[in-house]
Structure 1
Amino acid sequence: MPTYSARALVLKKTKLGETDLIITLFSEVGKQLRAIAKGSRRPGSKLGAHLELYSAVDLLVHTGRSLDVITEVRSWVTNEACRRDIEHSAGAAVIVELLDKVSRDNVIEPRLYPLSLEALRCIGDAEHCGIDLIVAAYIIKATAQLGYRPALLNCAVCGSPVNVVTGTKLAFSFLEGGIQCRLCKDNGYLDTTILMDADRLMWAHTLLQSRFMELEAYCLSEYSELGRSMLDFAQRWLHSHLSIHLKSLDFLISLDT
């Protein structure tokens, strides 16, 4: 039976029979893997101990007829902090659910692996008030890597630069991909345009362009309202361009109400 090794993030665990699990993973080469971990639900199972949600693992896998079989596993990043309470787990759950959905159709995007790993690390390190902002940044960055980058400095219609001034409102269309210059707005080229605060669009640009370690400076209580606002922006962007509904994102948002 052919054997291969893989490094991957644990996305989901599904019960199989009395003692087994089907493990859904996202590999460092950017594609989804599904494999059986036999006996992993038994007390004291060595496999089960290392296959925790949100963890990064090194695997040895036998190729099977329908599903591959995990024979060895070693944790190299446990992301234990992402499982320490309901808020951190809720944030991490959005990362893995989005990865699960976008990688089902054999989409290969290697850049999503380091992005997701860093987002999980940042969620684990964050206080509760900073989780929304990190998750929003991840969604915007991930969708951009998948080809849906919001136009936040140039008109989504004609491409001309737009002066984004704090305290003003700008025409913006989630469906059409971004902000709209005054000429295109006046000509009525888009019928899905709304007026959005320029400050919100500037923050969306900051989340898109900044590294996660730079965003950690904003994971403070005074930015909690900002986190909720950007999470709403990210949810609408995700739905508009990938038609993806994340139950985990609904739950994370419900924790703020």
Structure 2
Amino acid sequence: MLVKTEGFVLKSKKYGESDSLLIIFTRKLGKINAIAKGAKRPKSSLIAGVQPFCYSDFLLYKGKSLYTVSQCEPKEIFYKLREDVKKLSYAAYLVELVEATVNEGQTNNRLFNLLGKTLHLLTQSDIEMNTIIRSFEMNYLNYCGFRPELYQCVSCGKKESSNWRFSSQEGGVLCNLCFNQDPYAMKISDITLRLAKYLQSRDIVEIQKLKISDSLNENLKRILKHYILVHINKYDFKSIELADKL
């Protein structure tokens, strides 16, 4: 059976002498494993469209355990990402998040579109990098079914509180009367909470030039990092650690 679909190459590794083993996030089939035969040969017609991050049109043949890439036409190779180590590291982080969450054969059009928008934004020069990454994380959580509750206490439903804490385990904010529900809940300031709500409700393209102070970014990053680690059960994002050091 042949299937035509667009997709992003999440991972590519050498397989045998000249083949590539790919993990592709496709629009029609979700995440799949596929082999691109001969893709490592210098004159292969597949070579341009099967590199990591590439957005390509694929013609796929479904085998017993793997898809085979019959044809591949690159639509966007995001070359500029490869010219900037920091941007490349952030792009690798986005791809790691997607790969860790999407199951094989599970489609997610909103996440697919979000990944495409964000990779495109990362190639631009006049963006706020921190804003883009925090926005991706907030929307990523929305589209993967892990949307944190930010508007009312996750324990009692109270919408007003003298101060709030954020509980990764409980899935959102706790009011001052419910702090005992999670003794490890993290302090979250009113301004950090307002920023999280704003990013949660806005399309990433709308806020690409929004300036976030370093301290505010660090506060929200710390909270989101812990929340993501708890809910997707992945504890080593080497790409984001590298990007943050650059």
Deviations 1:57-101 (A, max 9, x none): 101112223322112111122222222210110111111111111
Query: Relative to structure 2, which stretch is displaced further, 7-16 or 131-140?
Result: 131-140
Structure 1 residues 238 and 90, CA, compared in 2 at 3 Å: closer, same or farther?
Answer: same
Deviation at 1:173, TM superposition (A): 1.4
Aligned equivalent of 2:220, options 230, 238, 246: 230
Which residue of the partner structure matches residue 29 of structure 1? 28
Aligned equivalent of 1:131, options 129, 132, 138: 129
Deviation at 1:169, TM superposition (A): 4.7
Aligned-residue RMSD, C-alpha: 2.2
Which residue of the partner structure matches residue 198 of structure 2? 206
Equivalent position amino acid for 2:112 in 1: Y
Corresponding residue SS for 1:157: coil
Query: Relative to structure 2, which stretch is displaced further, 117-126 or 31-40?
Result: 117-126
Deviation at 1:225, TM superposition (A): 4.4
Deviation at 1:232, TM superposition (A): 2.4
Which residue of the partner structure matches residue 50 of structure 2? 51
List runs of 5+ in structure 1 lacking aligned partners: none
Corresponding residue SS for 1:45: coil
Is the contact between residue 176 and residue 192 of structure 1 (CA under 8 Å) also seen in structure 2? no
Q: How far apart, in 2, do the equivalents of 1:37 and 1:207 lie?
A: 38
Aligned equivalent of 1:183, options 169, 177, 180: 177
> Given the alignment of the two structures, is residue 251 of structure 1 paired with residue 242 of structure 2, yes or no?
yes
Is the contact between residue 9 and residue 26 of structure 1 (CA under 8 Å) also seen in structure 2? yes
List runs of 5+ in structure 2 lacking aligned partners: none
The alignment covers a number of residue pairs equal to 245
Once the two structures are superposed, the pairs formed by residues 68-217 of structure 1 within 5 Å of their partners are 68-104=67-103, 106-126=105-125, 130-162=128-160, 169-185=163-179, 188-217=180-209
Structure 1 residues 104 and 201, CA, compared in 2 at 3 Å: closer, same or farther?
Answer: same
% same residue: 24
Which residue of the partner structure matches residue 41 of structure 2? 42
Corresponding residue SS for 1:210: coil
Q: How far apart, in 2, do the equivalents of 1:66 and 1:178 lie?
A: 40
